[in-house]
Amino acid sequence: MQIITEFPCDVVETPDMEIVLSDGCRLSARVWMPKDAGAAPVPAVLEYIPYRKRDGTLPRDEMMHPYVAGHGYACVRVDMRGNGDSDGLMTDEYTIQELADACEVIEWLAAQPWCSGSVGMMGKSWGGFNCLQTAFLQPPALKAVISVCSTTDRFADDIHYKGGCLLGENFGWGAVMLSYSSRPADPVLRPDWREAWLARLQAEPWLAPRWAEMQERGAYWQHGSVCEDYDRMTVPVLSWGGWADNYMNTVSALVENCVGPVKGIVGPWVHQYPHTAVPGPAVGFLQEAIRWWDRWLKGIENGAESDPAYRAYMLHSEAPNASAKQRAGHWVAEAAWPSPRVTAQRLFLGEGAGALPPRPLVLEPMANQLTHPGYLGQEDGGGISVVVNTPQHLGMHTGEFFPMGLNAEMPGDQASDDAMSVCFDGAVLATPLDLLGAARLTLRVASDKPLGFVVARLCDVAPDGSSVRIAHGMLNLCHRDSMEAPAPMPVGQAVTVSFAIDQMAYRLAAGHKLRLALSTTYWPFLWPSPEAATLTVTAGHLDLPVHAGSDTEWVPPPPQGAKPWAHKVLRAGKTTRKIETDLIAGTTALVVHDDLGDVENLSHGLCTGETMSELWEIRPDDPLSARAVHTWEQRLSRGTWAVRTEARAEMTATATHLRMTARLAAYEGEALIFERVFDDEVARRFV
């Protein structure tokens, strides 16, 4: 990344600007703006999140917000109510209160003498969510948003459920927030920090059971889901996503459905801002952001509204690598989305001939319909009878729901999971095959259990047998007809189900083949069904989004940023990620230890540290053996002042209930000053 130190505007910083809401709650904001903004007002850009501006997101804040401010904007980084240095208490994510506060902050910003009256809103993940949700509410001063790694549907496409299946990270995210929200304000900014901290700890919610209890797409999940009414999305939106992140579907959904101006960009990245993300190539996110702000906040006619509707980095075949620093590929630019250059091509599922049982299964492509060289086959896929019942530990190489970096968090070689799956292989490609968009799988299937799910992975299989996951999709069979009104499967009765596989941009190389892998398990990505369901598939087809082909169609600007934060490493961290088999207990476990070490902020002296561990264990033959244990420690100190919090969470299940326990403890020095234990059970109605 190129570090920029000189900008068109001289920037001044206010480390703790007070924003008092109508109910008296004081929010703390860190603000960068041009020195002369009082005499020459500028638009404001708001980032509004719970992740602590004083320490949590400070390293990335200092590389982004001064850069944008230096180009003529007031950049305002606000700690949400109940977090960081702000007053109040937080009860859940994306609440009515949270969004009402956002609208009030925007109104406050627009009224400041240094603001021109135009406000933009940006953010990644939580901030990407709530800037879309705030745009949905249409506050008058909000003129544009930039949303990174976000969602349009809180039930179907977030960290809690996917395809109606309960994600393992529903529990994991609950543990994260139990830890993250337990930290106090900085005493330098808040003399009442201790009193406020104890109130915060006492009100701390244990959210994982609450989320797990809502197993259908009801009013709770519909709130904050902008897909409920795209006609309300009139504020211009620039949406960013990454293929290594599990929020890759949002960009397509917004570009296709929003009524206001919207542009989308999807790169190879994990769950990070695109100018710092891996795998590379990273791009000039900040330059693109300023171009967007200039157009919609300043009214500069720079043609941003005429940019391609959808720009995607098309990944190319290469060896699997769960810690890839770079991905080969090229940028595709689609003037319209859906693209006229993408054609749906149907492949039927069929059984291979001439093999010993269990017979390998092949995708038999349709003759004269899929015109790409290398695909020849039959007109229908009838007459199959395929049984799918996979071991419970399948999925250990799936990777994280939202990978953050290079610690083997991305999907690895799928070959071992493929070996436990039912696989349908296409013919070896004579020439490359380009895919852009979302595939859709339709199956005729019967289940011997009322609860169960099916997972589909599209994989790129190289001549050496290694397998790269291109995209995946899943369906809780209780949700086969409706996400809002699920119902158990009729046991032994064949039904037709259809579901989307995630968006993709991928070029399979000549000599490779496309694989569809089916499983009834996906640990720890999905929490297992109460009983090991056996599915019988008697027909099916896969609709593929085949692209006409392209060369490089966009050359993004190179990544730039302001100078990094001044800090000192007090203790280096270390991360390990292992798959362990206990030969006595018969369990297989994913074990993660992530020690971020300890650092000192040289600007204000706050020392911070964080340590985390995860255990995800299961027996291959027993879905009720699934167990997850997460522990977190947060450390804050300055001089003789030192505090820390510990959070431990555990999830297990019986045939009828999910159980989630947690303990939160807080220490001042070595003295335990707070302890709380949670113990919740949730009925398994559809999971």
Joined together, the tokens standing for residue 354 give 């001439």
| pLDDT of res. 648 | 98
Closest CA to 452 of 474, 477, 422, 481: 477
| pLDDT of res. 363 | 53
Average pLDDT over residues 496-509: 98
| pLDDT of res. 102 | 98
Joined together, the tokens standing for residue 679 give 């113990």
Instruction: Write phi, then psi, for 495 (nearest 5 degrees).
Output: -130, 160
What are the C-alpha distances in Å from 313 to residues 241, 280, 492, 575, 669?
10, 10, 43, 29, 49
Joined together, the tokens standing for residue 101 give 């506060």
Closest CA to 460 of 513, 518, 399: 513
Sequence-separated (6 or more) residues with CB below 8 Å from residue 24 = none
Q: pLDDT at residue 583 above 90?
A: yes
Q: pLDDT at residue 101 above 60?
A: yes
Beta strands in 566-620 (DSSP E): 567-571, 574-582, 587-601, 607-619
3-state secondary structure of 193: helix
| pLDDT of res. 382 | 56
Cα angle 397, 398, 403 (rounded to 5 degrees) comes to 115
Is the alpha carbon torsion for 108, 111, 114, 116 positive or negative? positive
| pLDDT of res. 381 | 46
Closest CA to 399 of 479, 302, 341, 323: 323
CB 337 within 8 A of CB 309: yes
Q: Name the band, by pLDDT with cuts 50, 70 and 90, for residue 683.
A: very high
- CB neighbour burial string for 555-587, b if at least 16 within 10 angstroms, e if fewer: ebeebbbbeeeebeeeeeeeeebeeeeeeeeeb
- What gap in Å lies between CA 240 and CA 128, rounded to an integer? 9
Q: pLDDT at residue 358 above 90?
A: no
Beta strands in 42-81 (DSSP E): 42-49, 74-79
Q: Name the band, by pLDDT with cuts 50, 70 and 90, for residue 350.
A: confident
What tens digit of pLDDT does each residue of 546-556 get? 999 999 999 99
- What gap in Å lies between CA 466 and CA 513, rounded to an integer? 11
| pLDDT of res. 295 | 98
CB 593 within 8 A of CB 613: yes
| pLDDT of res. 43 | 98
What tens digit of pLDDT does each residue of 406-457 get? 899 999 999 999 999 999 999 999 999 999 999 999 999 999 999 999 999 9
Average pLDDT over residues 666-681: 98
CB 543 within 8 A of CB 346: yes
- What gap in Å lies between CA 538 and CA 383, rounded to an integer? 7
- What gap in Å lies between CA 236 and CA 153, rounded to an integer? 19
Count the neighbouring beta carbons within 10 Å of the beta carbon of residue 663. Answer: 17
- What gap in Å lies between CA 1 and CA 248, rounded to an integer? 24
CB 105 within 8 A of CB 86: no
CB 427 within 8 A of CB 518: no
What tens digit of pLDDT does each residue of 269-300 get? 999 999 999 999 999 999 999 999 999 999 99
CB 555 within 8 A of CB 593: no
Radius of gyration of the chain (CA): 25
Type of residue numbered 535: L
- What gap in Å lies between CA 23 and CA 90, rounded to an integer? 15
Q: pLDDT at residue 401 above 90?
A: yes
Joined together, the tokens standing for residue 505 give 């941009």
What are the C-alpha distances in Å from 643 to residues 194, 336, 422, 673?
10, 53, 51, 10
Strands 115-124 and 142-148: parallel
Q: Name the band, by pLDDT with cuts 50, 70 and 90, for residue 315.
A: very high
Joined together, the tokens standing for residue 109 give 């910003």
Q: Is 54 left (phi over 0), alpha (psi -120 to 50) or beta?
A: alpha
- What gap in Å lies between CA 354 and CA 382, rounded to an integer? 18
Q: Which residue shows structure tokens 């009104």? A: 485
What tens digit of pLDDT does each residue of 124-163 get? 999 999 999 999 999 999 999 999 999 999 999 999 999 9
- What gap in Å lies between CA 603 and CA 669, rounded to an integer? 23
- What gap in Å lies between CA 460 and CA 509, rounded to an integer? 9
Type of residue numbered 93: E
Closest CA to 74 of 47, 42, 105: 42
- What gap in Å lies between CA 626 and CA 619, rounded to an integer? 7
What tens digit of pLDDT does each residue of 207-264 get? 999 999 999 999 999 999 999 999 999 999 999 999 999 999 999 999 999 999 999 9
Cis peptide before 524 (omega within 30 of 0): yes
What tens digit of pLDDT does each residue of 163-215 get? 999 999 999 999 999 999 999 999 999 999 999 999 999 999 999 999 999 99
What tens digit of pLDDT does each residue of 363-394 get? 544 332 322 222 223 344 457 999 999 999 99
Sequence-separated (6 or more) residues with CB below 8 Å from residue 659 = 651, 652, 653, 679, 680, 681, 682
* DSSP string for 434-498: EEEEEEEEEEEEEESSSS-EEEEEEEEE-TTS-EEEEEEEEEEGGGSS-SSS-----TT--EEEE
